[in-house]
Structure formats: C-alpha cells, structure tokens
Amino acid sequence: MRLLFRLFKSFMLIGIGAYGGGLVTIPLIQHEIVGTRGWLLFDEMASLLAIAQMTPGPIAVNAATFVGFRVSGLAGAAVATLGVILPSLSILFCAGPLLDRFKNNKHVAFFREGLQIGVLSLLFYATWSYGCMAVGSVIDFLLAAGAFLTLILSEGKFHPIIVILICGVLGIFLFS
C-alpha cells in the first residue's frame, strides 16, 4: 500500500513538472525513478524510454505504466499511470473555463514564458545527466552525436523514430 502511494506521488510530481510533455519527462523520470527512488537502473530506464519512443502514446504515460508494473505489478501500473495524468486533468477539471478566459491574458503569458525557459534548462540538464550515463565510450559518443547531427541537418524532416531505429540497428552491429 505504501509502495503504491509512493509510486503515485512520484508520478504525480513527474506529471506536474512535465511542462510540454515529451522529452521533458526524461530528466524527471531519471531524477525521480533512477535517482531518488532507485526503482530502475539507468540502463533499464534507457531501454524503457527507447520502447516508449517506439510505441504509440505519450512518453510520460508509457513510462508510468512500465515503471509501475515493474515496481508493483498491475496495480502499480494503474496507479502510476493515473498519477501521471491526474495533475493536468484536475487542473483542467477545476480551472478549465478559467484557463480559456485567461489564456491570452498578459500575466499568464509572462508566467508561461518563464516556464518554457525552465523547461529549456531541464533539457540542458537532461542532455548532460542522461548523456553522461548513456555514453560510455567513443563509439557511444559518435552514435549519439550522429543522431544529433542527423536531426539538426534534416531540420525535422527525419522522424525521430526513424533515427532511433537506425541507431538501434547500428547498435546491433556495434555492440553485440
């Protein structure tokens, strides 16, 4: 019961911090699940994220289901998934009409600008913390840098999932 409660709390924090969703959830998951709680090893989390990226649905939801299941079975999966979507749904439920009215208000725009910069620092932090853990050799670095450059040079024309799959296939040749 306590474990389930902790799972719920952790994923609620992830749900609150994941402003904009997607990749922003990665540093939060790493901090909360690998760092603070120690529920997964970094490598397990990295595999999970790879799968989360390749399967349909938001990363945050996929990660919550997976971690929840690993920690405490079916109940854990349900609790964690609920935890990650509950913060935003409760905000929308309670303040939805308000949000609609105030979303073009300049004070809201100021706050939003700050949040976006906060997300940017989170992405920089993630590049560093995730990169340090994932990259262990020169070949690793070259592969990651190659993915980075491919994405930049193609300016979004290459779907990230294609880049991930190509790197995976290269990985089979390089690492096994």
Partner 1 sequence: MMSDKPQVVNEKKITLPEIFWAYFKVGLFTLGGGFAMAAILRHELVLKREWISDYEFMSEMSTATLIPGAVAVNMAFLQGRRMRGKSGAFTASAGVTLPSFLIILLIALFAIPYFQHPRVKAFLKGCSLAIAGQIAFAGFIFGRKHLRSIRNFFICAAGLIMILVLKAHPALAVLTAGFLGYILCWQRDKKEVLKKEG
Residues 102-121 that bind partner 1 (CB under 8 A): 103, 106-121
> Does residue 3 interact with partner 1 by CB under 8 A?
no
Q: Which is nearer to partner 1, 5 or 110 (CB)?
A: 110
Output the smallest distance, CB 126 to partner 1, in A.
5
* Amino acid (1-letter code) at residue 69: F
* Amino acid (1-letter code) at residue 136: G
> Does residue 75 interact with partner 1 by CB under 8 A?
no
Q: Which is nearer to partner 1, 6 or 85 (CB)?
A: 85
> Does residue 66 interact with partner 1 by CB under 8 A?
yes
Dihedral, CA of residue 84, residue 132, residue 55 and residue 153, to nearest 10: 120
Output the smallest distance, CB 5 to partner 1, in A.
18
**CA dist list (Å): 80 to 17, 46, 52, 66:** 15, 18, 15, 9
Q: Taking the alpha carbons of 112, 118, 123, 126 in that order, is the dihedral positive or negative?
A: negative
> Does residue 161 interact with partner 1 by CB under 8 A?
yes
Whether 76 contacts 87, CB under 8 Å: no
Q: Which two tokens stand for residue 54?
A: 């390749």
> Does residue 6 interact with partner 1 by CB under 8 A?
no
Burial class (CB in 10 A: 0-12, 13-18, 19+), 121: exposed
Query: Residues in contact with partner 1, total (CB under 8 A)?
Result: 108
Tell which positions 122-151 bind partner 1, by CB under 8 A: 122-127, 130-131, 134-135, 140, 143-151
The 28-57 site mask, x for binding partner 1 (CB under 8 A), equals: x--x-----------x--xx-xxxxxxxxx
Output the smallest distance, CB 51 to partner 1, in A.
6
* Amino acid (1-letter code) at residue 95: A
> Does residue 79 interact with partner 1 by CB under 8 A?
no
Q: Which two tokens stand for residue 147?
A: 């993915």
Dihedral, CA of residue 120, residue 40, residue 167 and residue 53, to nearest 10: -60
Binding residue for partner 1, selected from 7, 15, 39, 79, defined by CB under 8 A: 15
